[in-house]
């Protein structure tokens, strides 16, 4: 059986998933195509991030054969009440599971959760060099809003950041 055909189960994340979430996120940091974070996250860093999630701001994990192979989170977009219906999305897939349907399953789950939690719009920010991620986002109905030039720094260089959105 190929990895593409193996089932992916998506469920709400629990405290016991934090180590796997951290490991997958740190792979994303090391790969330099998914985040502007440069330094691996410590257990304390992820614990603080985890404490900011819950309620409307859910975290889900994807499992294949009992192993966590990806996660996504609904994150607060803004503290301003005018943006209460807008949620920011993060999604990360373990290296060995990329391109096998895990990201798609996570995005479907994220949209369902966003709707259930009263959001009307999902936004995300991606690096323009992340063509695989952008293809996945477009496949699930996201559209490019625009590109922020020199939005951040990565490895001492300015980088652009693309904004994408999906109206629910």
* pLDDT tens profile 25-57: 999 999 999 999 999 999 999 999 999 999 999
Contact 71, 22 (CB under 8 A): no
Cα 65 from Cα 144, distance rounded (Å): 34
Q: pTM of the predicted model, to two decimals?
A: 0.94
Comparing CA positions, the residue from 71, 18, 79, 24 lying closest to residue 45 is 18
Place of tokens 């404490």: 51
Alpha-carbon distances of 78 from 45, 65, 75, 113, 127, rounded to whole Å:
21, 37, 9, 18, 20
Domains of the chain: 3-122 (3.40.630.30)
Please report how the helices 102-116 and 131-139 are oriented relative to each other, as an axis angle in degrees rounded to 10: 50
Residue-level pLDDT, tens digit, the chain, 168 residues: 344 457 999 999 999 999 999 999 999 999 999 999 999 999 999 999 999 999 999 999 999 999 999 999 999 999 999 999 999 999 999 999 999 999 999 999 999 999 999 999 999 999 999 999 999 999 999 999 999 999 999 999 999 999 999 999
State the DSSP string of 84-111: TTEEEEEEEE-GGGTTTTHHHHHHHHHH
Instruction: Report pLDDT for 2.
Output: 41
Comparing CA positions, the residue from 163, 162, 75 lying closest to residue 119 is 75
């Amino acid at each position: 059986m190929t990895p593409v055909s193996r089932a992916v189960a998506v469920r709400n994340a629990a405290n016991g998933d934090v180590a796997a979430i951290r490991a997958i996120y740190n792979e994303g940091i090391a790969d330099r195509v998914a985040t502007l974070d440069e330094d691996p996250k410590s257990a304390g860093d992820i614990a603080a991030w985890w404490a900011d999630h819950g309620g409307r701001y859910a975290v889900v994990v994807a499992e294949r054969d009992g192993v966590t192979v990806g996660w996504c989170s609904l994150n607060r977009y803004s503290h301003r009440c005018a943006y209460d219906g807008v949620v920011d999305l993060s999604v990360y897939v373990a290296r060995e599971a990329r391109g096998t349907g895990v990201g798609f399953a996570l995005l479907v789950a994220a949209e369902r959760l966003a709707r259930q939690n009263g959001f009307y719009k999902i936004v995300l920010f991606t690096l323009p060099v992340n063509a695989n991620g952008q293809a996945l986002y477009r496949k699930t109905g996201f559209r490019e809003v625009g590109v922020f030039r020199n939005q951040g720094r990565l490895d001492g260089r300015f980088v652009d950041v693309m904004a994408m959105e999906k109206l629910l």
